[in-house]
Amino acid sequence: MGKNKNHSKRSQYVWKEDKIISKDLCFECGSDQDIHYHHVVPETKGGTMTLPLCIVCHGKVHNRDFLKIKELQKVGIEKAKKLGKYKGSTKNSSEKWIQKPKNSEVVKYLKEGYQAKEISKIVGVHVNTITKIKKYLSSLEKSEYL
């Protein structure tokens, strides 16, 4: 994977029964490909804890073939493109996404130095959404230096 595993970035790891689990590796098989975050207790039932699972192991938990679903989705998108029903994301779609009221609020709290869990509770968005916003903001910063 090529990442330095000195555990200095605590946000990239979780503790589980006296061992460190990387958030970038499948909890079950150790793969670093197509990582999903599986809720141990469903979100709809109040669950907040997640485990990193690769697409294959996550499919096993749910007795579904997520790889097949992903492939079928790609085929469906290609068909829709040929029919002119799917044009992909527009040039400004990410700008519109970040300007949604809750996402704008997340940006404000991030700039004020709040942690993702705190923001999640305040704004009412999932921590994964906050992570996406951070990545988006990071990509904007990088593009400014190019």
Q: List per-residue pLDDT tens for the chain, 146 residues long.
A: 333 333 344 455 555 555 556 678 888 898 888 888 888 888 888 888 888 889 899 989 988 888 888 888 888 888 988 898 887 766 666 678 888 899 999 999 999 999 999 999 999 999 889 998 998 888 877 665 44
User: Does 48 map to a domain?
Assistant: yes
d(CA 126, CA 133): 11
User: Does 100 map to a domain?
Assistant: yes
User: Does 116 map to a domain?
Assistant: yes
- The CA distances from residue 18 to 14, 15, 21, 50, 97, in Å, are 10, 6, 10, 17, 40
User: Does 79 map to a domain?
Assistant: no
* Domain stops at, among 62, 78, 106: 62
User: Does 57 map to a domain?
Assistant: yes
Backbone φ/ψ region at 63: left (φ over 0), alpha (ψ -120 to 50), beta: left
Instruction: Give the number of domains in the chain.
Output: 2
Q: Which pair of tokens denotes residue 78?
A: 């290609």
Range of the domain at 53: 10-62
Q: Which pair of tokens denotes residue 122?
A: 């305040």
